[in-house]
Amino acid sequence: MVRKAKSDSLSKKAYKFRIYPSEEQKIFFAKTFGCTRFIYNQMLADKISYYKKRKECSIILLRNIKKNIFGLKK
């Protein structure tokens, strides 16, 4: 006899929220997401170039990128 787990019978819920940031918060979010996007793209480019050179995967650390980029310390 096979029993179903209790979690199988639970329904899933989702909530949507809308935020109304102030001008200061909009600027903060834009800077934060811009830096995040830049770091992601930089790490992806480094990983791709490493793979093209050596044909193996690598682990690229964020601290190595931070040493070379001065504007992200703020």
Per residue in 2-22, pLDDT tens? Answer: 555 555 567 788 999 999 999
In a domain, 10, yes or no: no
Greater pLDDT, 68 or 53: 53
In a domain, 28, yes or no: yes
Report whether 39 contacts 62 (CB < 8 A).
yes
In a domain, 3, yes or no: no
In a domain, 5, yes or no: no
The two tokens of residue 40 are: 């992601």
Provide the number of structural domains found in the chain. 1
In a domain, 59, yes or no: yes
CA angle in degrees (0–180, nearest 5) for 17-21-27 = 130
Give pLDDT tens digits for 19-36.
999 999 999 999 999 988
Greater pLDDT, 62 or 42: 42
Q: Residue 50: count other Cβ atoms within 10 Å of its Cβ.
A: 15
CA angle in degrees (0–180, nearest 5) for 46-50-56 = 135
CA distance 68 to 74: 14
In a domain, 41, yes or no: yes
In a domain, 38, yes or no: yes
pTM exceeds 0.85: no
